[in-house]
A and B are shown apart, each in its own frame.
Chain A
Amino acid sequence: MLIDWFTVCAQALDFLILVWLMKRYLYKPVLDAINVRETRIAAEIADADAKKAEALKERATFQSKNDDFDKQRAALLSKANDDVKSARQRLLDEARQAADALSAKRQETLRDDARNLNQAISRRTQQEVFGIARKALTDLAASDLEERMCAEFIRRLQAMEGEAKQAFGAALVAAPAPAVLRSAFDLPKEQHTQIQNALNQTFAAEIPVQFLTDTHLISGIELTANGQKLAWSIADYLVSLEHGVDELLKQKGRTDVQPAQERAVAPKPDSSEPSTTAPGKASP
């Protein structure tokens, strides 16, 4: 008999006991451990998902803030660039204006210096020229020259006409004191006589004359009577020439102001050179 029923019952009992033992010591602990682990892993995954979602949200927020920051930075940079450009332009304009002003002032100063130098040179030249002329004429004065001056004085006296002659004649006649005739040198007696005769003839009267010597007259003769004066001397020419040169220099100074202002915009390095007429070229 292949089947032993006692063994069958015993094996069935053994199997049921083994089922209980396996459930007690194998399946339940292992399945519990697996469930705990799966629960923990699920919780970790859920936590990780939550953290990932939070991280994504924060990343989006950060990205948004970054974008805003970039926009603000770009706007600030653009504004700063514009401000810098405008400030640079303003400073350049101010610097250019200041430089122009300084340049103009410098040009003006240079022109003033040149003008002053020119004027000083002109005055000095004028004084030197006239001094030389006076000295030369003084040195050259001699009897022949006195004769020529006397003759020229008489010619002028005789050439007087009209109101001037009448007024001078009235002054000579009405003068309480004798008329005074000044000359640079003592006139000879002969010339005293010629002048006296010429006066008497010209004004048809006996004119009393007092002959004096005045060293300030340069080669000249001067007749004064009762406020009227008739004179001829080289000094008169020189004074007239000096007045003419002074007037010419004044006109020259006025005409230099206008071109100088135009040259101030583009000054030249050699503009300090005097541009006025050289002293040697000053003409009487």
Chain B
Amino acid sequence: MRLSADQMIFWKHGIFKLNGTIVFTWVLMLVMAVGSKLITRKLSTGADRTRWQNLLEIIVTAIDKQIEDVGLSHPEKYIGFIGTLFLFVAASSLCTIIPGYEPPTGSLSTTAALALCVFVAVPLFGIEEQGLSGYLKTYLKPTVIMLPFNIISEVSRTLALAVRLFGNMMSGAMIVAILVTITPFLFPIVMTLLGLLTGMVQAYIFSILAAVYIAAATSTRKRKTEQAEAGPVPTP
């Protein structure tokens, strides 16, 4: 019994290997990219729109709104990263209804890669927003004593991101696989449906947590800017 698609090796040469996780990821990337290209090929700016365009607009505007609600004032700047996180995880979960498919997010390598991307993207966005020193100073807040705890928090939350997604997706796939062996009818279907819901929730949680981390890293400058625009606070 495979825990993940990593163990599905198609080709191997030294440290390079082509496993099921990479292949399914490529397939997903191809479907998402080609599908987006096909749908956005003839976008209408008028009142008459196709159903697919409406679907894409709903998805994109919903992501945009969620990012803005988290606290990022320029969502179009972050939608590429956060939106792709959500869509990739969601697509990975949705495709579990296809027989023979194994979600790439069920592999700890994939979730770790995504968590590492978040781990790298958060300081990059923070530095872009606040500058290097400004971002580094956030580790010293509220006091210098909190520096090691902040660093541990940074690392642990990345680890938590990776393990949370992996655990949920892997467990879902595992439960379905086990149930198929025990009760081959009906119950696996119900669990697959539950897995779809779980996958969507995980996609939402993963992308929202990434947005929250980015917002936390970029919010200091924003607060200062808002205070400067509001003027000096009157003292009682």
Judged by a CB distance under 8 angstroms, whether B40 is at the interface is yes
* Residues in A1-58 with C-beta less than 8 Å from chain B: 2-12, 14-23, 25-27, 29-34, 36-37, 40
Contact mask for chain B residues 30-59; partner A; CB cutoff 8 A; 1 contact, 0 none: 001100110010011110000001001100
Residues in A whose Cβ lies below 8 Å from that of B93: none
> In the bound complex, do residue B116 and residue A12 qualify as a contact, i.e. CB atoms below 8 Å apart?
yes
> In the bound complex, do residue B45 and residue A37 qualify as a contact, i.e. CB atoms below 8 Å apart?
yes
> In the bound complex, do residue A25 and residue B37 qualify as a contact, i.e. CB atoms below 8 Å apart?
yes
Inter-chain contact count A-B, CB under 8 Å? Answer: 121
Residues in A whose Cβ lies below 8 Å from that of B166: 2
Residues in A whose Cβ lies below 8 Å from that of B87: 22
> In the bound complex, do residue A14 and residue B61 qualify as a contact, i.e. CB atoms below 8 Å apart?
no
Residues in A whose Cβ lies below 8 Å from that of B26: 14
> In the bound complex, do residue A8 and residue B112 qualify as a contact, i.e. CB atoms below 8 Å apart?
yes
Judged by a CB distance under 8 angstroms, whether B208 is at the interface is no
Contacts A4-B19, A6-B17, A19-B80; is A34 near B32 (CB within 8 Å)?
no
Q: Which of B19, B33, B61, B76 contacts A18 (CB 8 A)?
A: B33
- Sorting the interface of chain B by its residue count into under 10, 10 to 19, 20 to 34 or 35 or more gives 35 or more
> In the bound complex, do residue A26 and residue B40 qualify as a contact, i.e. CB atoms below 8 Å apart?
yes
> In the bound complex, do residue B60 and residue A7 qualify as a contact, i.e. CB atoms below 8 Å apart?
no
In the bound complex, what is the Cα–Cα distance between A223 and B17 (angstroms)? 196
Judged by a CB distance under 8 angstroms, whether B97 is at the interface is no
> In the bound complex, do residue A22 and residue B109 qualify as a contact, i.e. CB atoms below 8 Å apart?
no
**Closest Cβ of chain B: how far from A10's Cβ, in Å?**
5
> In the bound complex, do residue B43 and residue A19 qualify as a contact, i.e. CB atoms below 8 Å apart?
no
Residues in A whose Cβ lies below 8 Å from that of B17: 4, 6-7
Contacts A16-B117, A17-B29; is A22 near B43 (CB within 8 Å)?
no
Residues in B whose Cβ lies below 8 Å from that of A30: 40, 43, 53, 56-57, 60
Is chain A's interface secondary structure helix, strand, loop, or mixed overall?
Answer: helix
Judged by a CB distance under 8 angstroms, whether B16 is at the interface is yes
Residues in B whose Cβ lies below 8 Å from that of A11: 21-22, 25, 104, 107, 109-110, 113-114
> In the bound complex, do residue B83 and residue A15 qualify as a contact, i.e. CB atoms below 8 Å apart?
no
* Residues in B6-23 with C-beta less than 8 Å from chain A: 6, 15-17, 19, 21-22
> In the bound complex, do residue B79 and residue A27 qualify as a contact, i.e. CB atoms below 8 Å apart?
yes
Contacts A19-B80, A26-B60; is A8 near B116 (CB within 8 Å)?
yes
> In the bound complex, do residue A18 and residue B112 qualify as a contact, i.e. CB atoms below 8 Å apart?
no
**Closest Cβ of chain A: how far from B20's Cβ, in Å?**
10
**Closest Cβ of chain A: how far from B173's Cβ, in Å?**
14
**Closest Cβ of chain A: how far from B116's Cβ, in Å?**
6
**Closest partner residue, chain A, to B30 (CB atom):** A21
> In the bound complex, do residue B84 and residue A18 qualify as a contact, i.e. CB atoms below 8 Å apart?
yes
**Closest partner residue, chain B, to A14 (CB atom):** B25
Residues in A whose Cβ lies below 8 Å from that of B125: none
**Closest Cβ of chain A: how far from B182's Cβ, in Å?**
25
Q: Which of A22, A37, A40 contacts B32 (CB 8 A)?
A: A22
Residues in A whose Cβ lies below 8 Å from that of B53: 30, 33
Q: Which of B22, B108, B117 contacts A10 (CB 8 A)?
A: B22
In the bound complex, what is the Cα–Cα distance between A14 and B109 (angstroms)? 12
> In the bound complex, do residue A33 and residue B44 qualify as a contact, i.e. CB atoms below 8 Å apart?
yes
27 residue pairs bridging A and B, Cβ less than 8 Å apart: A2-B3, A3-B112, A4-B19, A7-B19, A7-B21, A7-B22, A8-B116, A11-B107, A11-B113, A11-B114, A12-B117, A14-B113, A15-B113, A18-B88, A19-B80, A21-B29, A22-B36, A22-B87, A25-B36, A27-B80, A27-B83, A32-B43, A33-B40, A33-B44, A33-B53, A37-B45, A37-B46
**Residues of A that sit less than 8 Å from B by CB:** 2-12, 14-23, 25-27, 29-34, 36-37, 40
